[in-house]
Amino acid sequence: MRKRLPGRKLLFDPRPKARREDLYDFDAELEKLLRALGEPMVLVSGLRRTGKTSLVLTALNESGLPYVYVDLREGFTSTRELYALLSRSLSEFAERASRWRRAGELLLKLLSRVRGVSIMGFQVSVSWSPRERPLVSELFAALDELGERLGSKVVVVLDEFQRSRGSVGAALHSAIAHSYDFHANLSFVLTGSEMGVLYGILRNPENPLYGRAYVEVRTRKLSREESVDFLERGFAELGVEVGRGELERAAEELGGVIGWLTYYGYLRASGRGDLERVVGEAVELARSELENFLATRVSRRYRIALKLLAQGVREWGRLKRALEDAEGRELSDRVLHEILHQLRSHSIVDEENNFTDPIARRAALQL
Ligand X SMILES: Nc1ncnc2c1ncn2[C@@H]1O[C@H](COP(=O)(O)OP(=O)(O)OP(=O)(O)O)[C@@H](O)[C@H]1O
Please, which residues have CB within 8 angstroms of residue 271's CB and are 6 or more apart in sequence? none
- Measured at the CA of 130, the angle between CA 125 and CA 135, to 5 degrees, comes to 65
Amino acid at 361: R
Cβ pair 277, 291 in contact under 8 A = no
CB 128 within 8 A of CB 76: no
In the DSSP assignment, the letter for residue 21 is G
- Kindly tell me which of 16 and 75 has the beta carbon lying closer to ligand X: 16
Inter-residue contact 340 to 353 (CB < 8 Å): yes
The verdict on 54 binding Mg ion (CB under 5 A) reads: no
**Choice between 13 and 338, CB closer to ligand X:** 13
Interaction partner, residue 221 (ligand X, Mg ion, none; CB < 5-8 Å by kind): none
Residue number with CB closer to Mg ion (235 or 260):
260
93 binds ligand X (CB under 6 A): no
The 3-state secondary structure of 273-288 reads: CCHHHHHHHHHHHHHH
17 binds ligand X (CB under 6 A): yes
Residue 54 sits in the site that holds ligand X (CB under 6 A): yes
| Residue 53 in the binding site for Mg ion (CB under 5 A) | yes
User: Which of 18, 26, 68, 310: binder of ligand X (CB under 6 A)?
Assistant: 26
Compose the 187-216 pattern: x for residues touching Mg ion by CB under 5 A, - for all others. ------------------------------
Alpha-carbon distance 19 to 124, whole Å? 27
Q: Specify the stretch interacting with Mg ion by CB under 5 A; choose among 5-13, 47-55, 203-211, 236-244.
A: 47-55
Q: Determine the Cα angle at 290 with ends 284 and 295, to 5°.
A: 125
Closer residue to ligand X, CB minimum distance, 266 or 355: 266
- The answer to whether 14 contacts ligand X (rule: CB under 6 A) is yes
Paired with 41 in beta bridges are: 188
- From residue 224 to residue 263, the character string flagging contacts with ligand X as x (rule: CB under 6 A) and all else as - is ----------------------------------xx--x-
Which of the stretches 45-53, 98-106, 150-158, 316-324 binds ligand X when contact is defined by CB under 6 A? 45-53
- Alpha carbons 252 and 247: distance in angstroms, whole number: 9
Rounded least distance, CB 313 to Mg ion, Å = 34
Binding of residue 48 to ligand X (CB under 6 A): yes
Q: Of 52 and 183, which has the nearer Cβ to Mg ion?
A: 52
Taking contact as CB under 6 A, which single stretch among the options 20-28, 64-72, 96-104, 318-326 is the one that binds ligand X? 20-28
Q: Inter-axis angle of helices 316-327 and 299-310, to 10 degrees?
A: 140
- Which member of 40, 45, 52, 235 binds ligand X (CB under 6 A)? 52
- According to DSSP H, which parts of the chain are helical? 27-36, 52-63, 79-97, 101-112, 136-150, 166-182, 224-238, 244-253, 258-269, 275-295, 299-310, 316-327, 333-345, 358-365
Site for ligand X contains 267 (CB under 6 A): no
Residues near Mg ion (CB under 5 A): 52-53
Residues near ligand X (CB under 6 A): 11, 13-17, 23-24, 26, 46, 48-54, 258-259, 262
